[in-house]
Amino acid sequence: MVDAVTLSDDIFAFDNSYARLPERLFARVSPSPAPAPQLLALNRRLAEELKLDLDRLTSREGVEILTGGRIAEGSEPIAMAYAGHQFGNWVPQLGDGRALLLGEVIDRNGRRRDIQLKGSGRTPFSRSGDGKAAVGPVLREFIISEAMAALGIPTTRSLAAVATGERVYREEVLRGAVLTRVAASHVRVGTFQYVYARQDGEGLRALADFVIARHYPELTEAEVPALALFEAVKARQADLVARWMGVGFIHGVMNTDNMTISGETIDYGPCAFMDTYREGQVFSSIDVGGRYAYGNQPGIAHWNLVQLAQALLPLMPGPQEKAVETMQAAVDAFPEQLQAAWLGVIRRKLGLSPATGVKAAEEDAVLANDLLSRMEANGADFTLTFRGLAALTDPEAPEREAVPGFFADPDAFNAWAAKWRARLAEDPMVPAERRAVMNGANPLFIPRNHRVEEALAAAEDGDLGPFKTLCAVLERPFEDQPEHAELSQPPLSEDAAYRTFCGT
C-alpha cells in the first residue's frame, strides 16, 4: 500500500483533543489513497460553517484529503475503539472498521467538530471487512443526514462525497466512494462500554472527563459528575427520539455503538422514513425480529441507556449498593421523560399550546394516539396527514378537503377531527399562529424512500441531476415548492414494499 502524502497547508485548522486521550482508546492508521478521486457532492454551506476555503477544498489536493490520499497538516488519523450490543448481543470489540477521524476543527460558532472519513480503507477494527464504501450508501447518507439537519433534528452531517475510482465488491461490483462526515464527536455509548468491559478505571475517567469538557462543560463542577453526565445524555436522547418519531423516522439499527453521547443521530445505513403509518414498521433487511421497529424506538433508547448507566457505575462515589440505587432511579425516569418530549412534539404537530397539568397531558396524549390508531387502521400517509391538518384550520385553504381522502374510511378521520376541533376551541393560540406552528412542525418534504432510490440509481449511472434536485428540495422541507410537488407524494401501491440494507 502506498502511504498517504502529507500536505503542508491549513485547509483544516486541526486541533485534536481525542488523539490526546490514552492510546488504548484508538489506533493510529494511515488511510488508503484513492486511485482516481472525483468529487460527487460538496456541502458548501457546511464547509463555510467550518471555516473552510472552498477553492482549496475543491482543488485536486483538497479532494485527495477527502479520500485519504493526502493527510492535511495537523491531521492525526485515528480509528476509534468501541464495543457494543448489536441487536442485543454483546460484542466486546467493534471500533471504526471503515472510518478514520482525521481531526477536529473549531467552527464559526466556536463549536468543536470531528472531521471523519467513512470508507477510506481497512483499520485494525475491520475484522474481515475491506474498510471501503460504495457510491450508493455514501450518497444515501449524504441525502438523509442533510435532510435530518434541515428538519431540525440533531445529526451528524455530510461535508463531501467523493468517488474513489476503485471497485467495491459486495453482492455485486460497485463503484467505491468516501463520505466526509462531520459530528460534534463520535463518542458513543459503546465507547464507554469498551473501557468498562476492560475494567479500565483510568481510561473510563479520562473518557468521562473528555465528554463533559467537550459536550457538557456546565457539569464540570457537578457534585457527582458521572450521574450528571448520565442525566444530560438521557435528556438529549429523550429529545432526539421524540423528534425522530415526529417525522416518522426509523433508525433501523439502534445498537449501543450507534447511540452518540452528544445526542446526534449517527449511522444512516438501514434507516428509512415511513410513508403509510404503522407502529410496527420495519424496513431494515437485517432486523428480522422487528427489534428496531418505529414504535420500539423509545424502549430501545431506554435499554441502551441502561448499558451506559452500567458503564458509568465505577465512577459513582460511595457504596456500590447506593450507587446502583441512585443510577437505577435515573434510568427509571427515562420513559416519562421521553413521553413528555414526545407530547411536546405531537402538540406542535396538532396545533396545541404546551398545556400544563397531568389531566391536560393525558387528554392530549389520548387525542394524539387516537389519530395514530385511525391512521394505521386506514392506511393514511404519516407526513401528508399531519401536514394537511394546518389547512383544516384555514377556511380559505384550497386543500382543506385533502386529509379525509388519505383514509380508507374518511369518516374515521372526520370523527376524530370533531374531537380535535373541540380541543382547539379551548386552546389560547390564535389561528394564524397555530398554522405557523403546525407548518413549522409538519414537513411537506421528507426523503421518500422511492425518491431516494431513484436518485441513487441515476447517480450509479453517472447522472447526479436527481440527487442534486432532491437535496435542494430537502433543504426546505417545511416550504411549499409547487414545482417539485411530486417529491412530496408517497409511492404508488406497487412501489410501497421497500427494504433497506446497512451498506457494508
Each residue's pLDDT tens digit in the chain (504 positions)?
Answer: 335 544 445 789 999 999 999 999 999 998 888 999 999 999 999 999 999 999 999 999 999 999 999 999 999 999 999 999 999 999 999 999 999 999 999 999 999 999 999 999 999 999 988 999 999 999 999 999 999 999 999 999 999 999 999 999 988 899 999 999 999 999 999 999 999 999 999 999 999 999 999 999 999 999 999 999 999 999 999 999 999 999 999 999 999 999 999 999 999 989 999 999 999 999 998 999 999 999 999 999 999 999 999 999 999 999 999 999 999 999 999 999 999 999 999 999 999 998 777 788 899 999 999 999 999 999 999 999 999 999 998 877 767 778 999 999 999 999 999 999 999 999 999 999 999 999 999 999 999 999 999 999 999 999 999 999 999 999 999 999 999 999 999 998 755 667 777 655
The terminus-to-terminus CA distance of the chain in angstroms comes to 22
Beta bridge partners of 249: 273
CA atoms of 26 and 19, how far apart (whole Å)? 8
Residues 6+ away with beta carbon under 8 Å from 427: 351, 352, 353, 355, 434
Give, in degrees to the nearest 5, the angle at Cα 285 between 282 and 290. Answer: 40
503: left (phi over 0), alpha (psi -120 to 50) or beta: left
For residue 45, the one-letter residue type is R
For residue 415, the one-letter residue type is A
CA atoms of 195 and 25, how far apart (whole Å)? 8
DSSP 370: H
CA atoms of 458 and 339, how far apart (whole Å)? 41
Per the confidence metrics, is the pTM higher than 0.85?
A: yes
Q: What are phi and psi of 260, to 5 degrees?
A: -80, 150
Instruction: Please identify every residue annotated as catalytic.
Output: 257
CA atoms of 123 and 130, how far apart (whole Å)? 9
Strands 70-72 and 5-7: parallel
297-312 vs 189-197: helix crossing angle, rounded to 10? 40
Contact at 8 Å (CB) between 290 and 325?
Answer: no
CA atoms of 229 and 345, how far apart (whole Å)? 24
For residue 333, the one-letter residue type is A
**Among the listed residues 290, 286, 291, 294, the one whose alpha carbon sits nearest the alpha carbon of residue 269:** 286
CA atoms of 342 and 349, how far apart (whole Å)? 11
Q: Write down the pLDDT at residue 11.
A: 86
Q: Write down the pLDDT at residue 94.
A: 96
Q: Which set of grid coordinates corresponds to residue 182?
A: 462531520
Q: Write down the pLDDT at residue 1.
A: 36
Half-sphere exposure at residue 461, Cβ-oriented, CA atoms within 13 angstroms: 8
